[in-house]
């Protein structure tokens, strides 16, 4: 996006990528259909130590600008839940579109280029020397778009952070985001046994709440609810799950007790939740009442149990980490960058765009929109 925008201004642009192919994350994203943006982009969909930083770039290159580009290339797309936009056919269409736009304005693209060093120079036009195994290059501007640490097998590296530090920038602590939770307590066995089960839920930590699907996997908990929450969860924290969002379970259980006094709690709950889940919950939350008829369970106990099922407290032991994380939280501190141009305040001509910066979006197309918007912002000034 940055190369294309700069190329359209008549700049001579060269894209260097250490990987054998550019845009691998585009190709892999959205299950191969690339969730390329979202209809409802707001600054509140992004996490950063400097929350206002993203506003300017998002305002100047919006989701509508990107949709117009997609439409210009006649790429068919559709909307899914929460305004998420996906290609109808393939993520390849998005990559081909960007490459075609770049080719049209003469942008050079070189893959398999290992960058071995960067030096600030001052020889009139050029301000940087980039050393590569295939020879040195000089440039007036240098844009770092190396992404985060997620999915090392797709070419992720900490190189962007090294460049930032080399030029005196602070890099805020990084951690895996949009990532499944893992468990080492009794939940480990529970998630293994329930692997494949999905249900609607509302999940919360003090800083955020999401109502989305929760998915049990053989490694822990996943699904959009957990991926979204992982951006806000800190190691050592608990989170709570409402297994019956929007319902008053306490009232419902009391009514069931009147209607079916002889029934067991697991039979009653089996009408609302998957039976396998109810059996696991029974072992965890009401083992002593497993064989007690509803009529013999005091209302106060039912009330407490309803509370536990609507605020089930779980403590992950960790996450699946960068191996499967969709994004990296933290990164180059935006307080040392211009929100208009993405240029370093410490080194003229040095820009950072996309995920390498400390700006992380929610699940739903926000991370690509940040890549497009920040890339466009820098592309207008390099």
Ligand X SMILES: Cc1cc2nc3c(=O)[nH]c(=O)nc-3n(C[C@H](O)[C@H](O)[C@H](O)COP(=O)(O)OP(=O)(O)OC[C@H]3O[C@@H](n4cnc5c(N)ncnc54)[C@H](O)[C@@H]3O)c2cc1C
Which residues of the chain form contacts with ligand X (CB under 6 A)? 16-19, 22, 24-25, 28-30, 34-35, 115, 145-147, 150-151, 155, 157, 159, 326-327, 354-356, 365-368, 371
Angle at 89 between CA 377 and CA 84, to 5 degrees: 50
Choice between 224 and 316, CB closer to ligand X: 224
Least distance from ligand X to the Cβ atom of residue 344, Å: 16
Choice between 210 and 368, CB closer to ligand X: 368
Least distance from ligand X to the Cβ atom of residue 370, Å: 7
Least distance from ligand X to the Cβ atom of residue 111, Å: 8
Least distance from ligand X to the Cβ atom of residue 343, Å: 16
Instruction: Find out whether 36 and 370 touch, Cβ atoms under 8 Å.
Output: no
Choice between 150 and 310, CB closer to ligand X: 150
CA distances from 307 to 201, 248, 252 (A): 14, 10, 12
Say how far apart CA 58 and CA 43 lie, in whole Å. Answer: 8
Least distance from ligand X to the Cβ atom of residue 191, Å: 21
Choice between 26 and 241, CB closer to ligand X: 26
Q: What is the CA radius of gyration of the chain?
A: 25
The phi and psi torsions of 62 (rounded to 5 degrees) equal -95, 175
b/e map of 45-80 (b: 16 or more CB within 10 Å)? bbbbebeebbebbbeebbbeebbebbeeeebebeee
Least distance from ligand X to the Cβ atom of residue 75, Å: 15
Q: DSSP for 309-328, please give it.
A: HHSEEE--SEE-GGGT-SEE
Say how far apart CA 163 and CA 56 lie, in whole Å. Answer: 24
């Amino acid at each position: 996006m940055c190369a294309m925008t700069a190329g359209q201004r008549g700049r001579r642009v060269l894209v260097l990528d250490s990987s054998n192919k550019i845009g691998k994350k585009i190709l892999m994203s959205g299950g191969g259909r690339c969730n390329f943006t979202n209809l409802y982009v707001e600054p509140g969909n992004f996490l950063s130590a400097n929350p206002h930083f993203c506003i300017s770039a998002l305002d100047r290159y919006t989701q509508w600008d990107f949709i117009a580009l997609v439409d210009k290339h006649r790429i068919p797309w559709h909307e899914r839940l929460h305004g998420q936009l996906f290609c109808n056919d393939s993520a390849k269409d998005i990559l081909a579109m960007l490459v075609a736009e770049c080719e049209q304005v003469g942008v050079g693209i070189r893959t398999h280029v290992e960058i071995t060093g960067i030096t600030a120079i001052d020889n009139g036009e050029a301000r940087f020397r980039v050393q590569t195994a295939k020879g040195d290059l000089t440039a007036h501007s240098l844009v770092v778009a190396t992404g985060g640490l997620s999915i090392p097998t797709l070419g992720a590296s900490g190189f962007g952070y090294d460049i930032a530090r080399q030029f005196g920038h602070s890099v805020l602590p990084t951690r895996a985001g949009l990532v499944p939770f893992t468990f080492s307590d009794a939940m480990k066995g529970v998630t293994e046994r329930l692997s494949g089960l999905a249900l609607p839920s509302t999940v919360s930590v003090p800083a955020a709440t999401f109502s989305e699907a929760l998915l049990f996997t053989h490694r822990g908990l996943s699904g959009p609810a957990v991926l979204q929450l992982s951006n806000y969860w800190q190691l050592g924290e608990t989170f709570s799950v409402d297994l019956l969002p929007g319902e008053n379970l306490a009232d419902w259980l009391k009514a069931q007790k009147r209607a079916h006094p002889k029934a067991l709690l697991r039979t009653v709950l089996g009408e609302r939740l998957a039976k396998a889940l109810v059996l696991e919950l029974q072992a965890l939350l009401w083992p002593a009442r497993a064989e007690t008829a509803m009529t013999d369970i005091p209302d106060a106990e039912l009330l407490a149990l309803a509370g536990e099922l609507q605020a089930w407290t779980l403590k992950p032991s960790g996450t699946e980490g960068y191996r499967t994380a969709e994004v990296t939280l933290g990164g180059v501190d935006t307080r040392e960058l211009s929100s208009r141009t993405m240029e370093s305040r410490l080194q003229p001509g040095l820009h950072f765009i996309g995920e390498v910066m400390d700006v992380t979006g929610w699940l739903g197309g926000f991370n690509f929109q940040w890549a497009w918007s920040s890339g466009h912002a820098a592309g207008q000034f390099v």
